[in-house]
Amino acid sequence: MLTKMIEPERVILTLAGLLLAAAGGQIHADPPTGFPYQFPDQKPDLPLSAAMERNYTAYPAPRPENNELFTQFKYTRLKGFDYNGHDGTISRRDPSKIIAVDGKYYVWYTKRDTPTPPQGAGNSTDVIPSADWDLADIWYATSEDGFVWKEQGVAVPRPPKPNVGWRSVTTTDILVWKGKYYLYYQGFMEASGTRGDDCPVSVSWADSPDGPWHPTHKIVIPNGPPGQWDQYSIHDPYPLVHNGKIYLYYKSDSNGDPYIRMHGLAIADDPLGPFTKHPLNPVVNSGHETTLFPFKKGVAALVIRDGNEHNTVQYAEDWVNFEIKSIVELMPNAGGPFIKDAFTDTDDGRGITWGLSHFTNATGNWKKNHAILARFDCDLSRDVDDPSM
Ligand code: AAL
């Protein structure tokens, strides 16, 4: 009992400390030579461990709070969307990026409204969905403030068989180019899950964000040739404008089961194509749904969920060669940010502060499998004082 209360080593050290303090006012006779308590913003002139070396060389700033591509994410429930009591028959997911037109925000997304929740590929029929994004159409909603949304109706319905997307049109994203609007989306020709999540990308265009939308019924980003990483699926098309061209990033899977998900880039002079896939594809070795935004001269990417480099924010000054800039947590799934300069061909990208994302399996009961849209807020903006960001 006594030995627990009085530890002899402590007594001796404390006494030694008191004696030193009385003699010279400090415990160390010589100045300390180890890593300092006052954390240096510049790499100190000291021998450094591999971890501390990396802390000064691999990230924009050695402290996360001073790193402009570090953020935390905050989520808010949206008002205005009905989910049928969350019984799994209505799902909204994979929001596009958000654009502002005439003082209103617009978003497009996958909406499924089916008699039952998804039942798996084996049980799916013409009306029973296999997956959450099966038998879906592309809908849109508008908002004045980004929190309260009004669903406006269908933008791109799935076309009659055998057109591309007859089984489901999903996971859309918007491009504004020379006064016209383009929606790119996954066009399923069979129920997702039958072989995999296989599909190419098609596009519809309109003169106004309210439509009417004109389907091209064409495959604009085709699957890769047999044996290549993107031979089965082109997912999450995500167009931005750079160098006077359309830079469309997309996700695909390689290596069978389990999938390795990666991202590629396809470039075009015209929104309807032809798109040329970049010879260095895949350009991002990880990630799931695709979220990017112009930042300074380059482009930043939210790399979520899958792969060695998931949970990172990455940056490519040349829009092709990405590097990890920060490690973050609770990233938005399928984030569709409001980006002021997505289509302005900027070389001084301002970043993002909010957008919509989705949460899946919102009831915690997979038999009621569906997704809901939510708002995310973050601090990846260079315009901290601009309330419209
Ligand atoms: C999503 C996206 C694509 C997939 C499926 C629906 O989160 O990656 O859109 O096909 O899941």
What amino acid is encoded at 70 in this protein?
Answer: F
Mean pLDDT of 207-214: 98
pLDDT digits (tens, 9 = 90+) for 149-196: 999 999 999 999 999 999 999 999 999 999 999 999 999 999 999 988
Say which residue the tokens 């504004």 belong to: 176
Flag whether pLDDT at 4 surpasses 50. no
Lowest mean pLDDT among 116-120, 157-161, 193-197, 245-249: 193-197
Please report the atom of ligand 1 found closest to the CA of residue 133: 6
Q: Is 171 in the pocket of ligand 1 (CB under 6 A)?
A: yes
Task: Using pLDDT thresholds of 50, 70 and 90, give the confidence band for residue 259.
Answer: confident
pLDDT digits (tens, 9 = 90+) for 291-324: 999 999 999 999 999 999 999 999 999 999 999 9
pLDDT digits (tens, 9 = 90+) for 11-41: 444 444 444 444 444 555 676 679 999 999 9
Please report the atom of ligand 1 found closest to the CA of residue 251: 8
Distance 71 CA to ligand 1 centre (A): 25
Question: Of 128, 126, 125, 124, whose CA–CA distance to 116 is shortest?
Answer: 128
Question: Of 245, 237, 185, 236, whose CA–CA distance to 215 is shortest?
Answer: 185
Which pair of tokens denotes residue 84? 């049928």
Flag whether pLDDT at 3 surpasses 90. no
Please report the atom of ligand 1 found closest to the CA of residue 290: 8
What span, in angstroms and rounded, lies between the C-alpha atoms of 351 and 336? 13
Residues in Cβ contact with 244 at an 8 Å cutoff, skipping those fewer than 6 apart = 269, 345
Q: How far is CA 92 from CA 224, 310, 359, 362, 372, in A?
A: 29, 24, 9, 11, 5
Task: Using pLDDT thresholds of 50, 70 and 90, give the confidence band for residue 384.
Answer: low
Q: To the nearest whole percent, how much of the chain has pLDDT over 70? A: 90
Task: Using pLDDT thresholds of 50, 70 and 90, give the confidence band for residue 365.
Answer: confident
Q: Is the peptide bond before 115 cis (omega within 30 degrees of 0)?
A: no
What span, in angstroms and rounded, lies between the C-alpha atoms of 201 and 219? 6
Residues in Cβ contact with 198 at an 8 Å cutoff, skipping those fewer than 6 apart = 188, 190, 192, 223, 232, 233
Q: Is 306 in the pocket of ligand 1 (CB under 6 A)?
A: no
What span, in angstroms and rounded, lies between the C-alpha atoms of 113 and 151? 14
Lowest mean pLDDT among 89-93, 362-366, 377-381: 362-366
Flag whether pLDDT at 290 surpasses 70. yes
DSSP-assigned letter for residue 119:
-
Flag whether pLDDT at 387 surpasses 70. no
Q: Is 334 in the pocket of ligand 1 (CB under 6 A)?
A: yes
Helix (H) / strand (E) containing 10: helix 8-24
Q: Is 198 in the pocket of ligand 1 (CB under 6 A)?
A: no
pTM of the model: 0.90
Cβ count within 10 A of residue 289:
25
Mean pLDDT of 351-366: 90
Q: Is 236 in the pocket of ligand 1 (CB under 6 A)?
A: yes
Which pair of tokens denotes residue 50? 């591999």
Which pair of tokens denotes residue 319? 């829009």
Considering the chain, what is the average pLDDT of its residues? Answer: 91
Distance 172 CA to ligand 1 centre (A): 10
Please report the atom of ligand 1 found closest to the CA of residue 334: 7
Q: Is 197 in the pocket of ligand 1 (CB under 6 A)?
A: yes
CA 329 vs. chain centroid, Å, equals: 12
Helix, strand and coil content of the chain, in percent to the nearest 5, comes to 10, 40, 50
CA 216 vs. chain centroid, Å, equals: 27
Decide: helix, strand or coil at residue 34: coil
Going by their DSSP bridges, the two strands 371-381 and 349-360 should be labelled as antiparallel
What does the pLDDT read at residue 9?
42
